[in-house]
Amino acid sequence: MEQGTGAIAESQTGDAVRSSAVDIAAVIDARSVGRYQVAIMVLLALCVVIDGFDVQSMGFVAPALIREWHVSRAAMGPVFGASLIGMLPGSLLMGPLADRIGRRPVLIGCSAFLGVCMLATAFASSLSQLLWLRFITGVGLGGIMGNAIALAGEYSPMRRRATLMMWVSCGFTGGAALGGVLTAVLIPAHGWRSVFVVGGVVPLVISLAMLFLLPESMQFMVASGRGRERLQRVLRRLAPELSVNAKTRYVSHEPPHRGSRVTALFADGRARVTLLQWGVNFLNLLNLFFLANWLPTIATDFGYDVANAALIGTTLQIGGVIGTLAMGPLIDRWGFFRVLGPCYLVASVAIASMASTASVSLLLLLVVVAIGGFGIVGGQPANNSLSATLYPVTLRATGVGWSLGVGRAGSIVGPLVAGGLMQLHWNSQQLFCAAAIPALLSAVMLWLMSRDRLFVRGDPSAEAA
């Protein structure tokens, strides 16, 4: 396989390839999304679903576990945070590994590892065992989202890339919601351990399905110079009208990188964009977990009962799902910066106004919370997708993984910051004004990124400028 800017097949979507070179990216961009790509997206979405299920599973089983083990709520705090902490090194390590050996083996390995860890969690007999199992599970989880997004992008035509990547990301929220439904059914009938048994068996089944059905990224195989026969098999399934054989050359327009994959994120003028993207991920996940963890509690301070407080917290996530589904097509049409930046600005205003609307009516508060969720929760899949467009194939999983890893730090810091501000006796208005600041800063950082056209790839707004 060759790497460079050689000839592209004269007719890559016609009856046969009349030239000896095939440009994989051009083939994907020239075609509509077929059944084979849909099957790939479903498998990747299922990976992200189990990611979301696992992250939320501890919160769902905690009440039953507390009753059974007779432990305090405070003692569960470190257990809740253990998987998030584990996801940080997992994201940082698994991204470079995937850019070295491929997305497919890392996704399969992490999913299988997750299944084993979840099954082991079902047999935990102490808080210390539970804490370490959750941390180790988090390391495996750290390799799922970034690689799923990278692979989804590499099988998506440019005109629908943001939509498909974001819809795959939406599986995280779906998995979290599924966890709540399954917990409500399983715990009364079989106890809290059954949640982890189901949560362990399903990833193992999915990893087995991926072993037989999930292909490696074709662009990665071209860029790495490995898997020629596998590449031909995948290409025949993706585009059966193409004529490829042992003499066919496969062209990559991706520039090579020098040094380690992590340092390459800062090479060739990428440092500014990389740091800004890390900043956006850190601030948005800080804000997301700030709101997700503390919004129901703050709502009770306004006099709402527990049921309505839970409804307010759920509305944040519902707004996020709507945001994810709506933003993808808009981004494909207008670009990341023309959509995501304004969404953060609107979300900032909505968050700052939550305290004032809470005293007016529940309905108005729900509308404002949904708008905030649209931008903050719905914006995170857009951030992940943006990360995947900033780097060439050989750096893509590293770029997404490290961006997510830095963001994971924000998800840990966010709830701690909120708790610290409460200890300082900040009132609700001050807390929501503080939560509005990260969204405002994210919008500013995105504007600064939009000025750097050289490395903003695949964004219609960037190309039009």
Q: Which fold has domain 261-460?
A: Growth Hormone; Chain: A; (1.20.1250)
What is the pLDDT, as a whole number, of residue 459?
43
Digit-coded pLDDT (tens) for 24-70: 888 888 888 888 999 999 999 999 998 888 877 887 788 788 888 98
Instruction: Read off the pLDDT of each residue in 139-168 and give the average, rounded to a whole number.
Output: 89
- Mark residue 303 as left, alpha or beta (left: phi above 0; alpha: psi -120 to 50; beta: remaining): left
Report percent pLDDT > 90 for the chain: 29
Least confident of 93-97, 112-116, 203-207, 281-285: 93-97
Is residue 276 within 8 Å of 403, Cβ to Cβ? no
Contacts of 431 (CB under 8 A, 6+ apart): 294, 298, 355, 418, 421, 422
Helix axes 161-169, 171-190, angle to 10 degrees: 20
What does the pLDDT read at residue 20?
Answer: 63
Helix crossing, 161-169 with 145-154: angle to 10°? 150
**Of 457 and 244, the one with more pLDDT:** 244
Q: Which two tokens stand for residue 365?
A: 């508060």
189-193 average pLDDT score: 89
Q: Which CATH architecture has domain 35-214?
A: Up-down Bundle (1.20)
What pLDDT shows up at residue 258?
54
Q: What is the pLDDT of residues 232-258, one digit of tens each?
A: 888 888 888 777 776 777 776 666 555
The region of weakest confidence among 90-99, 149-158, 229-238 is 229-238
Contact between residue 41 and residue 164 where contact means Cβ atoms under 8 Å apart: yes
Sketch the domain layout of the chain as residue ranges.
35-214, 261-460
For range 400-407, the mean pLDDT: 88
Q: Are 47 and 107 in contact (CB under 8 A)?
A: yes
Please tell me the distance from the alpha carbon of residue 334 to that of residue 353, in angstroms, as a whole number.
28
Q: Which pLDDT band, with edges at 50, 70 and 90, does 8 fall under? A: very low
Asked whether the beta carbons of 92 and 125 are under 8 A apart, the reply is no
Torsion of CA 83, 89, 94, 100, to 10 degrees: -170
**Residue 462: predicted pLDDT:** 42
pLDDT per position as a tens digit, 413-430: 887 787 788 778 888 888
Mean pLDDT of 317-330: 89
Using CA atoms, how far apart are residues 258 and 367, in angstroms rounded to an integer? 50
Exposure of 369 in the CB half-sphere (CA atoms within 13 A):
27
The confidence band for 215, taking pLDDT boundaries of 50, 70 and 90, is very high
Token readout for 158 is 């440019």
Assess whether pLDDT exceeds 90 at residue 341.
yes
Measured from the Cβ of residue 43, the count of other Cβ atoms closer than 10 Å reads: 21
Arithmetic mean of pLDDT, 348-365: 87
* Domain 35-214 and domain 261-460 have a common topology: yes
Residue type (1 letter), 427:
N
Give the model's pLDDT for residue 445.
95
What's the rounded mean pLDDT across residues 217-243?
81
